[in-house]
Structures are given as structure tokens and as C-alpha cells.
Structure 1
Amino acid sequence: MSTEPPIEVVVDHRERVAEGVVALTLRAADGGPLPAWSPGAHIDLLLGEDLVRQYSLCGDPADTSAWRVAVLREPDGRGGSAHVHDHLVPGTKLEVRGPRNNFPLVPSPRYLFVAGGIGITPILPMVRAAQAAGADWRLVYGGRRRATMAFLDELAALAAPAGERVDVRPQDETGLLDLDGLLRDLPDGTPVYCCGPEPLLAAVEERCAPDVLHVERFVPRAVEGPDEEFEVELAVTGTTLTVPAGRSILETVEAAGVQVLSSCREGTCGTCETGVLDGVPDHRDSILSEEERRTCEFMMICVSRARSPRLVLDL
């Protein structure tokens, strides 16, 4: 697998869009166009050595002159959001990778969008796309307080022609989202797109059919399974490696000198997606759908393991 060259960008504009949330507009440092993207896509911000973070694009896909991301400051985070808030100001140059889309918007005559907190970022361009396509859609947006909820002004402008399609639900005003009522009477086959904190995603998953639900996680879901030794054959080089207990496939192939593009190393970003030519993966990522898991065509080698004694990978 070849490495993906980073793109140098410059912070063109910085704006506070909610309490604890800043939105950054990024432009190519050389003034040229940026790669195209579609709703649901994210980019990797290369913030420093071993500090790479993924943020959803929340601007206009038709505008190739700029990208926009919004970042919530996480006081108990791992340092990425603090770096963005403390160091990325207009004029700052940095490198990014992507865009990459593990949360694509499928064509449909109707949609239900459910966003919690900063989970509004990938949902915002989806809502705009649904509106532009003439689809019947509804957005339910929850948060702790109105002051902490980003892009309310933009949603209000969008809601003006859309009437009651945008339902803003701050918890301190309306309580928790009524997911039972929201999901009970959906027309059959309505795609449900949900992004937000893990308790919200888990609650929606409990109430929604897997074939219509699309979620994006910011943190990996808890997955348990056996941690046993197995073999991987790298089809491109013909090398066979033993993946021991306690070590990932990614770490094993890197130790053997094979370059693999990776980022989050926790199964949430999709950067290390690798083709499976033979064998049965034990999927432990937070990205692939149940249908994609059943096909066994790809796996995220940063976290997933093997159900068969041997895997043949397209590496």
C-alpha cells in the first residue's frame, strides 16, 4: 500500500461557532484548488509528531477553494483539540491528508438525521445536500445547552424554507431526545444518519434496523474477542508474518518494514483499510457496516484480527 502525500494548507479564517467550538477555514498553501469531497467526509490534521486527528468537513463540497472543520475543545482529550484551539490561528500552516469518506450519504427520497453536540459537523452538509436534492428530510439536533450547540444560525437559515424540519433540542430546555417516538413511525427504508456521543449512538442502534442506520463514531466502540496468534500473508511481497497475541496486524507489518498508511490506530478513521484476498477477518473496527463485514473484502488492520488461522492481505 502506497503512502498518501500530505497537502499543505493555511488557516485562512477562525471563528467561534459555539461555547468551546471553533471553526477553521483552510485553504491550499499554494493557492490552488483542494481535492473534492462529499458529505460525510473527513480529513486528517497532522498537528505534530504522533499527533494526528480526524475532523469532519462541514463546509460546501462545491467550493474547492476552501475546507471547513469545527473542533470542540475536549478538556479531558488526548491533546488534539487543545492544540487546534491554542495554536491554529489565521496564517498558521499545517499538513493534512484526505479527504476520506466512511460515512457517505446514500441517495434516498427521504432521510432522518440525528445529531448530538459536535456530531452536527458531518450532518450539516448532508442536510444541505438533501435539501438541494428535493428530498423529504428531518433533523433532530440535541445538545447540553443552546450555547454549546454549533451552527444554530446556519440551521435557522436552512430551516426558514424548510419549516419544522430542523428540531433543536437543548437538554436543559427539553430533556433527553425522545428516540422511541422519533424512530417508531419512520416510513420503511428511511435512512437514519446519526453522529454524536457514544450513548446517543448506542441508544439509536438499539432502536433502529441495521440496514437503514448509518453512524459515525468519534471514539471506538468496545469490542471484545480472543487475542490469539495467527498468520498473515502479504500478497504483493509474498511474505508471511506471524501476528502474536497483543500486537496488531498493522504493528506487525510495520515492524517487517512494510509501509502502510494509518492514522487513528483505533478503528475509527478508515485510513488503514486493506483488501482481504483470503481468510476470514475478525472485524473490530467502528466503521464497516454489517453487510461490508459479511463480504470479508476489506478490514481495518489497526484493530481487527482473524477468525481463520491465516489471512492473505493485499499488501
Structure 2
Amino acid sequence: MKLLLENKNPIADGVVLLTLRHPDGDPLPAWTPGAHVDLVLADDLVRQYSLCGDPRDDSVFQVAVLREPDGRGGSQHVHDVLAAGQLVEVHGPRNHFELVEAKRYLFVAGGIGITPILPMIAQVEAMGHDWRLVYGGRTRSSMAFRDELERLGDVEIRPQDEYGLLDLEALLGEPAEGTAVYCCGPEGLLAAVEERCAAWPTGTLHVERFAPKPGAAQGQRHEFEIELSQTGTVLRVPADQSVLEVVERAGVPVLSSCQEGTCGTCETVVLAGTPDHRDSVLTAEERESGEVMMICVSRSCSPRLVLDL
């Protein structure tokens, strides 16, 4: 869908808030906290950004974008090229970072990783559950939504230049029964939180990445077959091609976006066989079940996979 970029406002050092609405004023698709959308910035430039507004407001989508000088060009395009009044192709929303039911919540955010957590906190607060947010960033002025968050409740703002790195050992050293942990931020923070939550009950930790987990897509690559259950077609997947590339070459329409295992757009149901998961989206439980796979990067542990395509 094409949406009108109504406003592009700076909200912190290096961060702009985009407000998009339907050009005809039509309501936008419903979404839940943790959801993201794809912004098609150019023909070969598609990026995922978390929705950070109010899910009850179906008139606008809002995303916050951090300028990343060493990134792949998406954030620089948003900051330097996009302007209010332009139409932007938007896909989604989709959610692989759903808020689960729990007795209490611990939110850990790093930098722009605060964006999916904002609407989560609003929902948890509305439900009357206990929650705590620890929010780290480079400097106080670089931390988006800081003033808004400090008015909410149990929020700890921890700029690195004032406090150093987040004390994750004190925060996560002892498992807390009934607590769901949500974390979004740079890879260093995600990896450190995952390490410290290894001793917590299975299913406690929920993370979201917008870049592949280091090494996730690596591993031996060998040839295997896929069967498309809807037609019975059997296709060979060579070692140097992905499942997505093979099915697209065969003329099978499949939605895809990032093609690096982070956005979840190409999620496909597996009817038989054992996937070799190489994405950065699925939880350990979802990987173990083998019910779905991201066909842009994941491969097969068995000679043949039967896919719901």
C-alpha cells in the first residue's frame, strides 16, 4: 500500500519520527505491540522498522529511524531523501515479537531498540501488570522517547556516558519466575542478554533483531529437494541457491523482503522433513517444532522438504 509521509520530525540526536497515513484517509491495517512494517525506499532498498505509535489509532503508522552512518543505506535514505508529502510503499504489518501473557515483564532496550517496546509498555500498563524498563543508550540526548517514558513508571534511563554499560548481571543474574523478558537493541546487547538468560526458564526471553545474528546463515551447504504440496512439483535446491530463489525461478509467487532471515516475510509452513534453520527470527521452541521456516536463508537437514506452497 502507498502511504503519505505526513511528518518527519527529529526526536533525538540522529533519530527521526515518521508519521504515515493513507492518502485518502482510509483506516490502516490493525497491528499489535511488537509489530513492524517494511518501507520500500527504492527498488532494491527495503527496510523493516518497528511500529511505535498507538495500536488503537488506525489513522497513522509511526516509526522511528536512527541514522546509521555505517549501515547499508536505508537509514541514510530516510534521513536525507524522504520528505513530508511523499508517498511511500509500505508492506505489513507483521509481528514476530508478540507480547505474551505473564505475571510481570522486564523490558531491556538499547538505543533505537526502544521502538517496539513503547507500545508493549502501554499495553502492559493498561492491563495492570507489573513491569520494569531498563533503557540504555550512548548519551541522554540520543535516547528517543526519554521524557515520555520517564513519566510512565518504573523506568531506568541509563546513558552509557553517565552510567557505563548496563549491569546485566545484576539485572538477569537470578531467574525470576513468572517474568517475561523482552529485549531489543544492538547485537552486543542481545547476545549478552541471551547469554545471561540461558539459565532462565525456557520461553522467558523474547528478542527482536533487524540484522542477522552473527553466523546464523553460515554452515555447510548441500543439495536437497523440495516438494510443493499444492501442486506436487518437486524442485532441486542446489548448494549455491536458496529455497526462495528456486521457487521464484519456478514461477511460484512468494512474499519476501529482507532475504537475510530477519523480517519473517517469507515464513513458510513445513509439512514434512527437517529444516536447517538459519534465520534470526524463530524462537528455540519454534525451531524445535520444525513447523515453519524462513526460505530465504534456511535449508534442509533431510533429503527432501515438503512445503505448503
Which of the five TM-score ranges fits, normalised by the shorter chain? over 0.9
Match of 1:3?
none
3-state SS of 1:177 partner: coil
Give yes or no for the alignment of 1:274 onto 2:263: no
The Cα RMSD (Å) is 1.0
1:86-165 matched pairs, under 5 angstroms: 86-158=80-152, 162=153, 165=154
Give yes or no for the alignment of 1:203 onto 2:160: no
Deviation at 1:177, TM superposition (A): 0.6
Structure 1: distance between partners of 2:230 and 2:185: 39
Write the letter of the residue equivalent to 2:273: G
Match of 2:211?
219
Match of 1:167?
156
Match of 1:4?
none
Match of 1:194?
183
Deviation at 1:157, TM superposition (A): 2.4
The question of whether the paired residues in 2 share the 8 Å contact of 1:197 and 1:218 is answered with: no
Question: Unpaired runs of 5+ in structure 2?
Answer: none
Write the letter of the residue equivalent to 2:188: P
The question of whether the paired residues in 1 share the 8 Å contact of 2:190 and 2:207 is answered with: yes
Correspondence for 2:169 among 137, 161, 180: 180
Q: TM-score, normalised by structure 2?
A: 0.96
- Structure 1 stretches of 4+ with a deviation exceeding 4 A read none
| Residues 63-114 of structure 1: CA deviation (Å, up to 9, x unaligned) | 0001100001111111111111112222111110100000000122210000
Deviation at 1:185, TM superposition (A): 3.6
Deviation at 1:214, TM superposition (A): 0.1
Question: Unpaired runs of 5+ in structure 1?
Answer: 1-6
Correspondence for 2:287 among 289, 293, 298: 293
Deviation at 1:290, TM superposition (A): 1.0
Write the letter of the residue equivalent to 2:110: G
Deviation at 1:187, TM superposition (A): 2.3
The question of whether the paired residues in 2 share the 8 Å contact of 1:103 and 1:215 is answered with: yes
The question of whether the paired residues in 2 share the 8 Å contact of 1:280 and 1:307 is answered with: yes
The question of whether the paired residues in 2 share the 8 Å contact of 1:220 and 1:266 is answered with: yes
User: Identity of aligned pairs, percent?
Assistant: 66
Deviation at 1:186, TM superposition (A): 4.6
Structure 2: distance between partners of 1:288 and 1:65: 30
3-state SS of 2:225 partner: strand
How many residue pairs were aligned? Answer: 304
Structure 1: distance between partners of 2:194 and 2:103: 22
